[in-house]
Amino acid sequence: MSSITGVNSNFGFEALAVAVNKKATDAQGEAVMKLLDGTMQSVQQINAAAPKLQASGSVGTNINTYA
């Protein structure tokens, strides 16, 4: 009978370890999502503030390679 109690006891600890690990993983996932959200907002702000440049087909066609 003690082996059954031991098995049940081990199962309880394993279930607890899984639950704690899941909470830690969920917390890490939330932190990563907040970081990505902040990064996305920063990139959007930088792109909105950047001057709009017009592309020209003649830029870079005359390159002096004899310098």
Write the DSSP string, 33-47: HHHHHHHHHHHHHHH
CA nearest to 12, candidates 26, 23, 20: 20
Q: What is the chain's percent helix, strand, coil content, to nearest 5?
A: 70, 0, 30
Model confidence, pTM = 0.53
Using CA atoms, how far apart are residues 39 and 42, in angstroms rounded to an integer? Answer: 5
What are the pLDDT digits (tens) for 28-65? 999 999 999 999 999 888 888 877 766 666 666 677 77
Measured between its terminal Cα atoms, the distance across the chain in Å is: 91
Pick 26 or 48 by higher pLDDT.
26
Pick 55 or 15 by higher pLDDT.
15
